[in-house]
Structure formats: structure tokens, C-alpha cells
Amino acid sequence: MVDLSTSLEFRERHIPGAWWAVRARLDQAHERLRGMRTIVLTAREEALAHFAAAEAKLLWPEATIGVLKSGTAAWVGAGFAIETGIERATTSIDDIWYKPYEQGADYEKQARAYLTWEVALVEQIARDPTIQFRAYD
């Protein structure tokens, strides 16, 4: 099972034993899951898994590629077992920007890092000659 949901969605709940992957980086998933003979793709929305199926067939030409009908949402809705966490990631977990409180542990450190970035943004914009703002008094 390869889940193409966002890393945040996967971390919150996924089908037991599923691997997490990013559709745009299926080649990295292939490196981690080389030799698989059967792959079932899923995502929160079934359509995303269907989009990835043709790409997966090119990467795993000897494998049987399937798509979970109605996606992970149907699995969860049916009351089947789920897991949490993101131990089986096939790529770096940088697919989305996490808010400080979504980072998990050490919320205060994450919030401070975000505020430091935000305050420094004004200086970064001032140094970039391609960005122009007008000052109004």
C-alpha cells in the first residue's frame, strides 16, 4: 500500500502497513520499494491515486498496480483499523508547510523559529531589488 495523501494527513491516520509517498516523487518511492510485485495506491481522494497509477506502472512494470476504491476516506469511514505516525516515508517530509503547532514536539521552539523568519522577511524584501513597495503616509 502506497498512500499519496499529504504527510500531515498520513501522520494523523493511514492504513496499517502503508508507505507514504509524494506523487511528484514516485521515483524515490520506487527506490525504497524496489521489487514490489503488487502495489495498491491510495490517497484521501481516490482521484489522486488514479492520476499516479500510470506513472507507477512505468516505474514498476512487472508489478500489478491497483487503486483503493474511494480512497483512504472510505477505509476510515468503514471503521477499519488505522495507524498514526510517519515511520514509513519514501521521501523527505517537506511536501507541505507545517504550522508550528502541527510540528508535533517542541511547539515553542517551532513558533520562535517562525517568528524569527517572519521578522527577517522585511530585511530580505528590502535587499531584493526586484520587489518594490510604495510607502504611504
Task: Answer yes or no: is pLDDT of 108 > 90.
Answer: no
Q: Is 7:36 a contact under the CB 8 Å cutoff?
A: no
Average pLDDT, the chain: 89
For residue range 46-94, list pLDDT tens digits in order: 999 999 999 999 999 999 999 999 999 999 999 999 999 999 999 988 8
Each as own residue / partner, the long-range contacts of residues 85-88 (CB below 8 Å, 24 or more positions apart, any chain) are: 85/11, 86/7, 86/10, 86/11, 86/20, 88/17, 88/18, 88/19, 88/20
Amino acid at 36: M
CB 48 within 8 A of CB 26: no
Domains and CATH numbers, the chain: 2-96 (3.40.250.10), 100-130 (no CATH)
Interval 99-110 mean pLDDT: 71
Beta carbons within 8 Å of 74's beta carbon, 6+ residues apart? 46, 68
How far, in Å, CA of 47 to CA of 4, rounded? 11
The per-residue pLDDT for 101 is 64
pLDDT tens-digit series, residues 9-56: 999 999 999 999 999 999 999 999 998 999 999 998 899 999 999 999
